[in-house]
Structure 1
Amino acid sequence: MRVLITVYPAVAHLYPVVPYAWALQSAGHEVRVASHAGFADTIASTGLVPVALGDAGSPEPRLRDDARQPPTPEDVNAYARALGLSPEEREHWIAFYQWNLNPASDYVRADLPDAPDLVEFARAWRPDLVLWDLVFPAGAVAARAAGAAHGRLLGSNLDYFAFSQERLATHRDAVRDAGLATDPLGDLVRPLAERYGMTVDDELLLGQFTVDPLPKGLSLSTATTKVAVRKVPYTGASVFPRWLYARPQGRPRVALSLGESTRRYVAGDWGRTPKLLAALAELDVEVVATLSPLQLEAVGTLPDNVRAIEWVPLTQLLPTCDVLVHHGGMGTLSSAVAAGIPQLVCDTDDSLLFRPASAAPAEVDSGTYRVGREFGTETGQAAEEAAGWLHPEKNLLATPCASYVTDQGAGVRLDHQKQSVEEIRAEIHRVLSEPAFREAATRLRDTWQAIPSPAEIVPALVALAERRP
């Protein structure tokens, strides 16, 4: 069987699907992974065969001046009212409409070469199955053009797309009466679909099935057909650092990781990093902090018990640690679950809503997101004066991750906005010293290990591919 996988060009999107790709490849199937040409080397580094889309010398669509901006808060709230959403449901809608439609718009554009390149490759290679990243809907168009079965990969995301599409369908009349577009996702996909003579329907937008790696308590309830799979952590391959060989004598090791994606686009860390390090400084622990230079700018002198390193695979680091303090990313959470260690998840009471930075004092920059900026790139530096948006002081998935961990008894929630350094320190000490947290983390690991592995779902994927018309 030939399997084509599409991923958004970021390791936060690639790494979650590597175990699926390798499971299929190891079972004897041909696998290709398609993404922007500038991301091809990263795909190849995982041992998978890349398909380069577009021009490697051109900026990624998200870094272009004409990239889609987040909708205004007024527009977001108008939909929430028309849809009759509860406060919790409103957060799911924000995650879909303000956050995820932006990356979904990047690689479905008919006026850029990436999506047409994908369709033409699929037509020529003739895959039997296309597995497409939740925010890479061009994969569905390519599958239909090639006559292939296709399904979505949630990766490290909740299924905000199906959740929102179902509510839009239920309240279509109310949305129309409010003067709002009744199908924002369909409107994004339609120009590409019509270029190839296709009608936009639910199957094109939501796939024939969905590979869902999230357990009960995390996964959103939707009407989609789901293939349940265990989220096996993959965090890249590199030489195992010698200093990780030996555990510190007589004191615990604490890992601190605040994510990869946000630091690419958002300046600063809202004062969170200095506060966490100050709390850890007075504890008798060894701290390994995976922080970038940008995240460390506001820290000053590192505490003596902290080793800062920009990158080390969590699959190498976490089995040597006693607890993890993190930003509430799904990939990071699953790595801690696999290691069987307790977690302290950084979360706030902020809504996920983006707000224009123009509404804030002129000196505000920390936490500001700007379309067309990625730190460490020439394109990003050139975009410093572009209009910005105030990013809420947390990760997209911080609240569901924090709720899941605390509901399971495997950790606690940290709020840098409300808790003092002393209160944060006391929480870290509590998780380190109370055996109940470690016992709950062990039970949580056992629960996840009972979910089918990527290798175990390969027969189901083959059967789904064989059912295509």
Structure 2
Amino acid sequence: MRVLFAIDPSIAHLYPMVPTAWALQNAGHEVRLASFGGFADRIAATGLTPVPLGDASWAARISDDPLEPKGAEEAQRYADALGLNPEEREYWYLFFQYLLTPTADYLRPDRPEAHALIDYARTWRPDLVIWDLTQAAGAVAARVCGAAHARLVFAYDPSGWSLDRLAAGRDALVAAGLDPNPLAALVRPLAERYGVELDDELLVGQWTLDTAPPGLGLPTRTRKVPLRYVPYNGAEPVPDWLREPPQRPRICLTLGESYRRFIRGDWNRAPMLLDALADLDVEVVATLNDVQLDGYTPPPNVRTMEYLPLNQILPTCSAVIHHGGLGTFQAAVASRVPQLVCDTLESIMLRVEEETPEEAPDDTGIYRSGVEYGVREAEEREQEPTVRWVMPAKKLEATPVSNYVVSRGAGVRLNHQTQSVAELRESIEAVLTDPSYQRGADAIYDVWRAMPSPNDVVSVLESLAQDARNRR
């Protein structure tokens, strides 16, 4: 069969898709990966076939007219009307403030990408379309060409969860003067243009490829197909120094790739962590760049580099310190490595900075639409961005990840806002010396290993796609 993937133009969305795409291709199916035109080279580097959509020079997040996230006041009005508790509000903010914006990028009426995807689906005639959380146009394309379609979610599903809450609270939302389904409002113009019925299936897929290990996912009404998250981190030459076993405990420190492209500095987190590691008899490999270090000079026992595939470094490590990203968490699970997860436990709600740009002391922790460090600086825009968003000093999914790791004895939580350098060092030493953390990491690995692999899921996808075709 023919399988078309619709992917957000970022490696954080591409890399989790690659093992499933390769499994389908290795089983003899034709596979194509569609995304923004400028992302085609990234897709091609994985050995898979890209379908460029739209102008290769245009990138949604660093254009002159980028869409801004939803404001905090509106997000809170929804949460109040839905009666969400503090934990539930965090899942809602993730969906409403962080996922709706890239979804809207792809559905912009003044942009050709969604239409190019649908035109390609009409021509190529895929049997199955697999799309990620921000690529709802993939569902419309599937309906137009008669293909089956499914979402692939990365460890938990705030979109499916939020849509269930919206459906249950519809009357309260209408009474509060709020749109009862903001995702449907984004998808509706595209669906109507192509004569596609807007129903629940169009928003969540006919089924969901769910990579969440038991205990991490969110309850949803969606039909789930369990899928083991097989880490793919890109293909890079193995460095000479990595070919020899470490002479002392090796720790990997990685704080993510996405934030450092849009946020200067690291909320003083990286310097504190490196100071805590300085006096330990360990070797540290830190994947940090100049934007994250922001002038800080690492201690002698730290080797820094911008990027190193986690599936190369983690099998050699005694522990990993990371930002709580789902991809890094899953890579650590697959390598049986105890984890120290950075999590400030603060809300992920996005807020507009209160000071004016002239009064703001620096850009640390500030997100400005249309700016990417090293790619498009603020001065390259036609005018300075007027909205400065204060980002929480943690990864969006850090709290669910840290809760999962800590509750299973596979590691600890690090909080640079409440812990001193000495306390951070004590936590790191505990994970290195207490064998219970390794036993916890082994237990999580066993749960992960018991999930169906991408190869196992191919036959399931074949059957589901065939069933969908038979129902047409």
Q: How would you bin the TM-score normalised by the shorter chain?
A: over 0.9
Superposed CA offset, 1:151-184 (max 9, x none) = 0011x35211111111111110100111111110
| Separation (CA, whole Å) in 2 of partners of 1:256 and 1:117 | 40
| Separation (CA, whole Å) in 2 of partners of 1:133 and 1:115 | 14
Amino acid at match of 1:237: A
Q: Is the 8 A contact 2:378 2:384 kept in 1?
A: no
Q: 1:398 to 1:276 in 2, by over 3 A?
A: same
Aligned match of 1:120: 119
Amino acid at match of 1:124: T
Alignment of 1:11-410 (within 5 A): 11-57=11-57, 59-154=58-153, 156=154, 158-249=156-247, 251-299=248-296, 301-359=297-355, 362-378=360-376, 381-383=379-381, 385-386=384-385, 387-410=387-410
Superposed CA offset, 1:89-113 (max 9, x none) = 0111000001111111111223201
Give unpaired runs (5+ residues) of structure 1: none
Superposed CA offset, 1:304-345 (max 9, x none) = 000001001000000011100000001001111111010000
Give unpaired runs (5+ residues) of structure 2: none
Q: Is the 8 A contact 1:274 1:298 kept in 2?
A: no
Q: Normalising to structure 2: TM-score of the pair?
A: 0.97
| Separation (CA, whole Å) in 2 of partners of 1:173 and 1:378 | 44
Q: Is the 8 A contact 1:247 1:253 kept in 2?
A: no
Q: Is the 8 A contact 1:374 1:381 kept in 2?
A: no
Q: Secondary structure at the match of 1:378?
A: coil
| Separation (CA, whole Å) in 2 of partners of 1:368 and 1:236 | 29
| Separation (CA, whole Å) in 2 of partners of 1:152 and 1:142 | 13
| Separation (CA, whole Å) in 2 of partners of 1:385 and 1:327 | 30
| Separation (CA, whole Å) in 2 of partners of 1:38 and 1:238 | 21
Q: Is the 8 A contact 1:110 1:116 kept in 2?
A: no
| Separation (CA, whole Å) in 2 of partners of 1:67 and 1:341 | 39
Amino acid at match of 2:227: V
Deviation of the 1:265 alpha carbon: 1.2
Q: Secondary structure at the match of 2:354?
A: helix
Report the number of matched residues. Answer: 465
Q: Is the 8 A contact 1:163 1:220 kept in 2?
A: yes
| Separation (CA, whole Å) in 2 of partners of 1:219 and 1:345 | 18
Deviation of the 1:379 alpha carbon: 6.1
| Separation (CA, whole Å) in 2 of partners of 1:236 and 1:382 | 30
Q: Is the 8 A contact 2:155 2:210 kept in 1?
A: no
Q: Is the 8 A contact 1:130 1:150 kept in 2?
A: yes
Amino acid at match of 2:312: Q
Amino acid at match of 1:51: V
Aligned match of 2:450: 450
Q: Is the 8 A contact 1:96 1:161 kept in 2?
A: yes
Q: Secondary structure at the match of 1:4?
A: strand
Q: Normalising to structure 1: TM-score of the pair?
A: 0.97
Identity %: 54
| Separation (CA, whole Å) in 2 of partners of 1:420 and 1:461 | 50
Q: 1:380 to 1:196 in 2, by over 3 A?
A: farther
| Separation (CA, whole Å) in 2 of partners of 1:367 and 1:277 | 19
Q: Is the 8 A contact 1:255 1:325 kept in 2?
A: yes
| Separation (CA, whole Å) in 2 of partners of 1:160 and 1:66 | 27
Identify which range, 20-29 or 385-394, moves more after superposition: 385-394
Q: Secondary structure at the match of 1:452?
A: coil
Deviation of the 1:380 alpha carbon: 5.4
| Separation (CA, whole Å) in 2 of partners of 1:293 and 1:234 | 25
